[in-house]
Amino acid sequence: MTQDDGIALIADAQRAAGDGNSESFESTAWARLAHAVDSRSFAAGWLDIQCRAFEGVIRGAVILRTSEAAAFAPVAIWPEGIEGSPKLAAVVERALQQRQVVVDGVKRVPRRQDPIFIAHPILVDDELYGAAALEIEGRSDSTVRDLVQRLGWGIGWLEALARRKTFTSKARLVTVLELISTSLQHERFQAAATAVATELATTFGCERVSIGFIKGRHIKVQALSHSSAFAKKTNLIRGIEGAMDEAADQLATVIFPARKDGPFQVTRAHAELLEQHGTGAVCTIPLTAGERVLGALVLELPTGAEFDARTVELCEHAALLVGPVLDVKRKEDRWLAQKAWDSMQTQWRHLLGPRHVALKLWTLVGVLVLAFFSIVDGDYMITADASLEGKVQRAVTAAMQGYIVEARARAGDIVREGELLAAMDNRDLRLERQKVLSQGAQQESERRQAIAEGNRARAAILETQGAQVRAQLALVDEQIARARLVAPFDAVIVKGDLRQSLGAAVARGSVLFEVAPLDTYRVIMKVDERDITDVAVGQTGRLALTSMPNQEIGLVVEKITPVSVVDQGRNFFRVEARATGAVEKLRPGMEGIGKIQVDQRRLIWIWTHKLVHWMRMWIWSWWP
């Protein structure tokens, strides 16, 4: 229902009641409501119209909800200055609780001196907004019903007022949400701040909107509306920054020219900004996060315009929400070194300032631990990958060219001295032996015959040939013996398995087995080139093998190979050490971790010297 429709309804009601002065009444009603500037003046004008439209009204009141916490209070009383009525207040309370029209005091035989109390609730979309109440002279039941109906028509004006305020609140919320959305649309801080400033300037018709954030001890302008770049040392920017600092120091919104009913504030910087740059009004709102000031927002209206309370309140709400969002973007848009420096400064302030007990406690613990490790000495040990090898490693080779006919051992077997490992085919050698034996027998017969005949020269020749035959026989016997491959000593077979090669041909000198003794081992460690200067012959250490992680084996450094090897892109030196203790459990090929004890050094140096060494080399490589 519009204002004109409501006035028309009341004018019709007046005509029905016999009031011939309806035109004068309509013009008066429009004049009172047209000049209403807020809900209180609107409700007072409406109540005056209602009370004058109905006959016999003693007093009237309008009660509206004054806050979102559902607190109700009278905003208009008719006639002005009259005392309240407890009975009227009780009827209003019932109407608010029951959310329906309440009429009290109606009697069968009405008398003018017996007042009637009427309270009509104001409902907007089933939400209670307030109530209107009248105290009238006594009258009949039908007259009261007609009056309640006419009052309900007039309530439409107050419902329209409530709907208008509800829409305004929603519009304000939409405006704030649009500003937040604008700030989130851009990834970079500068673009987001400029877009927000431009949106504010467009929404509220500002000549210029500036956004600044604290940098050091003062606020610096970071964005201007309708401007992607600006000179930061101009008089205009300095004036705006002065106004921002002025509002931030007072931690309050500063408006210049100041309102008549506003609090006293320092506005010197605002006055200078207004005087030098000719804007109509300036409003500066601090951007805060809790109790901490982040920056400030400056709005400048053109000449002749002023800030109203509703606009300032909306801008304060927008600054309260948009400020932290832009501050987060500003912090994320900095260089990594600046972020680290600011974080260190923040932690330092927390450490020296109040509260933050946990940070102080952990810092104290860290300092004590660092001091402990900087004073106490520990064993400096060089760690390296290690493997076991036999101190003496013998190769069992094929003594002749032939074929494998028997294999009794393979890698990993423990054998005793003289134990058969494998055998080669010796049939050709046995035939050769028979041939040599027959030749020897023939020569021996001829030698005896020459002796019998007295031919000494021939007997001497045959004697020599017999010695040659015996040497050939010894050679064949030796070859037959070498066809049997036996263990040279008590050992473990490190390499070799001929069980899958029976009948295969082997060449003379081919390595068939590698064996190592069971009682002497050497430890081979690959020491990093950064640690090799600290290793010396005779140093002791410990060895932990993968197969025996719970048992440590002593070792003594015996040899340092002066030639490095490359493994996985790093240089290592081969260091040989002798294992001492638990030798009976060791086997060649075992691997683990060896530690060589150097001397006593500070614990902090032991744990950081490799990092320091790397940093020194890196700096040296880049140093001019």
Q: Is residue 128 part of a domain?
A: yes
Which of 36-40, 275-279, 360-364, 510-514 shows the lowest per-residue confidence on average (mean pLDDT)?
A: 36-40
Residue 5 has pLDDT above 60, yes or no: no
How far is residue 514's CA from residue 81's CA, in Å, rounded to a whole number?
Answer: 122
Question: How many beta carbons lie within 10 A of that of residue 117, not counting itself?
Answer: 24
**Max avg pLDDT among 173-182, 277-286, 499-508:** 277-286
Q: Is residue 453 part of a domain?
A: yes
Residue 568 pLDDT grade (very low, low, confident, very high; cuts 50, 70, 90): confident
Q: Output the pLDDT for position 594.
A: 92
* Percent of the chain scoring above 90 in pLDDT: 18
Last residue in a domain, options 299, 332, 365: 332
- In this structure, are 144 and 274 located in the same domain? no
The tokens for 455 are: 């031919």
Q: What is the pLDDT of residues 375-393, one digit of tens each?
A: 999 889 999 999 887 776 7
Residue 404 has pLDDT above 60, yes or no: yes
Half-sphere exposure of 400 (CA within 13 A, CB side): 17
Residue 366 has pLDDT above 50, yes or no: yes
Q: Is residue 355 part of a domain?
A: no
**Would you call 420 helix, strand, or coil by DSSP?**
strand
Q: Output the pLDDT for position 592.
A: 92
Q: Output the pLDDT for position 519.
A: 67
The tokens for 479 are: 């070859």
Residue 175 has pLDDT above 90, yes or no: no
Residue 43 has pLDDT above 90, yes or no: no
How far is residue 50's CA from residue 78's CA, in Å, rounded to a whole number?
Answer: 10
- In this structure, are 548 and 439 located in the same domain? no
Q: Output the pLDDT for position 6.
A: 44
Residue 499 has pLDDT above 50, yes or no: yes
Three-state secondary structure readout of 366-396: HHHHHHHHHHCEEEEEEEEEEEEEECCCEEE
Residue 583 has pLDDT above 70, yes or no: no
User: What is the C-alpha end-to-end distance of the chain, expressed in Å?
Assistant: 85
Mean pLDDT on 355-367: 90
Which of 253-267, 269-283, 386-400 shows the lowest per-residue confidence on average (mean pLDDT)?
A: 386-400
Which of 154-168, 310-324, 336-350, 410-424 shows the lowest per-residue confidence on average (mean pLDDT)?
A: 154-168
- In this structure, are 192 and 317 located in the same domain? yes
Q: Output the pLDDT for position 584.
A: 67
Mean pLDDT on 306-317: 84
How far is residue 60's CA from residue 375's CA, in Å, rounded to a whole number?
Answer: 88
Q: What is the pLDDT of residues 426-481, one digit of tens each?
A: 777 788 788 878 888 888 888 888 888 878 888 788 788 888 888 888 887 777 77
How far is residue 307's CA from residue 294's CA, in Å, rounded to a whole number?
Answer: 23
Cα-based torsion angle of the residue sequence 567, 572, 578, 582 in order, rounded to the nearest 10 degrees: -50
Q: Long-range contacts: 350-358, Cβ < 8 Å, 24+?
A: none
Which of 236-245, 255-264, 351-360, 492-501 shows the lowest per-residue confidence on average (mean pLDDT)?
A: 492-501
Q: Output the pLDDT for position 369.
A: 92
Q: Output the pLDDT for position 254.
A: 93
The answer to whether the CB of 593 falls within 8 A of the CB of 544 is yes
The CATH number assigned to the domain holding 561 equals 2.40.30.170
- In this structure, are 151 and 190 located in the same domain? no
Q: Output the pLDDT for position 287.
A: 93
- Which residues, 6+ apart, have CB-to-CB distance to 55 below 8 Å? 17
How far is residue 47's CA from residue 77's CA, in Å, rounded to a whole number?
Answer: 8
Mean pLDDT on 152-170: 69
The answer to whether the CB of 356 falls within 8 A of the CB of 575 is no
Total domains present in the chain: 4
How far is residue 236's CA from residue 252's CA, in Å, rounded to a whole number?
Answer: 22
- In this structure, are 271 and 315 located in the same domain? yes
The CATH number assigned to the domain holding 311 equals 3.30.450.40
How far is residue 1's CA from residue 610's CA, in Å, rounded to a whole number?
Answer: 84
Mean pLDDT on 295-317: 87
Residue 593 pLDDT grade (very low, low, confident, very high; cuts 50, 70, 90): very high
Q: Is residue 382 part of a domain?
A: no
- In this structure, are 145 and 16 located in the same domain? yes
Q: Is residue 284 part of a domain?
A: yes
How far is residue 601's CA from residue 614's CA, in Å, rounded to a whole number?
Answer: 19
Identify the CA nearest to 588 among candidates 489, 492, 513, 487.
Answer: 492
Last residue in a domain, options 458, 480, 514: 514
Residue 331 pLDDT grade (very low, low, confident, very high; cuts 50, 70, 90): confident
- In this structure, are 317 and 434 located in the same domain? no
How far is residue 390's CA from residue 489's CA, in Å, rounded to a whole number?
Answer: 13
Question: How many beta carbons lie within 10 A of that of residue 488, not counting itself?
Answer: 16
The full DSSP string for 311-380 is HHHHHHHHHHHHHHHHHHHHHHTS-HHHHHHHHHHHHHHHHHSSS-HHHHHHHHHHHHHHHHHHH-EEEE
- In this structure, are 506 and 527 located in the same domain? no
Q: Is residue 24 part of a domain?
A: yes
Residue 487 has pLDDT above 60, yes or no: yes
- In this structure, are 549 and 604 located in the same domain? yes
- In this structure, are 501 and 526 located in the same domain? no
Sign of CA dihedral 172, 173, 178, 183: positive
User: Domain containing 486: what range?
Assistant: 394-514
Q: What is the pLDDT of residues 280-293, one digit of tens each?
A: 899 999 999 877 89
How far is residue 473's CA from residue 469's CA, in Å, rounded to a whole number?
Answer: 6
- In this structure, are 402 and 550 located in the same domain? no
How far is residue 408's CA from residue 114's CA, in Å, rounded to a whole number?
Answer: 133
Q: Which residues pair with 256 in a beta bridge?
A: 282
Strands 511-517 and 491-495, bridge-based pairing: antiparallel
Q: Output the pLDDT for position 15.
A: 44
Which of 14-23, 167-176, 222-231, 306-315 shows the lowest per-residue confidence on average (mean pLDDT)?
A: 14-23
- In this structure, are 549 and 612 located in the same domain? yes
Q: Is residue 94 part of a domain?
A: yes
Q: What is the mean pLDDT of the chain?
A: 82
Q: Output the pLDDT for position 36.
A: 57
Identify the CA nearest to 54 among candidates 165, 169, 166, 132.
Answer: 132
Q: Output the pLDDT for position 127.
A: 79
Peptide bond into 86 cis (omega under 30): no
Q: Is residue 544 part of a domain?
A: yes
Q: What is the pLDDT of residues 185-235, one digit of tens each?
A: 888 889 999 999 998 888 888 899 999 999 888 999 999 998 878 887 788
Residue 24 has pLDDT above 90, yes or no: no
- The CA-CA-CA angle for residues 614, 619, 622, to 5°, reads 130
Model pTM score: 0.46
In this structure, the chain runs to a length of 624
- Which residues, 6+ apart, have CB-to-CB distance to 62 below 8 Å? 43, 44, 46, 47, 74, 75, 76, 130, 131, 132, 133, 158
Last residue in a domain, options 332, 351, 384: 332
The answer to whether the CB of 190 falls within 8 A of the CB of 223 is yes
Which of 55-64, 119-128, 339-348, 486-495 shows the lowest per-residue confidence on average (mean pLDDT)?
A: 486-495
The tokens for 344 are: 């260190």
Element (H, E) at 528: strand 521-528
- The CA-CA-CA angle for residues 114, 119, 124, to 5°, reads 170
Residue 22 pLDDT grade (very low, low, confident, very high; cuts 50, 70, 90): very low
How far is residue 155's CA from residue 46's CA, in Å, rounded to a whole number?
Answer: 9
